Structure 1
Amino acid sequence: MGLALCPTSTAMGDWRALEQVKHYGGRIEKTIHPLAPFGFRAVIRDSEGNRVALHSMVMN
């Protein structure tokens, strides 16, 4: 069985949250990648093992 993925939006391409992932005990599972035509996302795993997708319609 796969694990659920909780999506959240970033503020118009503000990807600074990725810089904080390791500091708070998480890890980046997938770096920023396109979801054409739906924008961009990155997938992280937080310190408790939850998968979270960060999404934005713009890259930067």
Structure 2
Amino acid sequence: MEERPVEQCPFCKADLIGEKIPYSLLEHYSPPYFFRLKIGIYDRELDRITHWQCPFCKGTWERN
């Protein structure tokens, strides 16, 4: 069985890993097969995600 990854908000320590992705949707995702709850903040000029945001506390941190 696949081990559940660990990812926490650096501010409120909330768990940012959601439920396991259903088998019927796996073709649209890459491993590990769990929903991510963090929000990507996209910069159009750089054409990439530059920051992440916690959906619980709204804290924002730079993407590594």
TM-score (norm 1): 0.28
* Greater C-alpha radius of gyration: 2
TM-score (norm 2): 0.27
Name the structure where strand makes up a greater proportion of residues.
1
Report 1 or 2 for greater relative contact order, CA contacts < 8 Å, sequence distance ≥ 6: 1
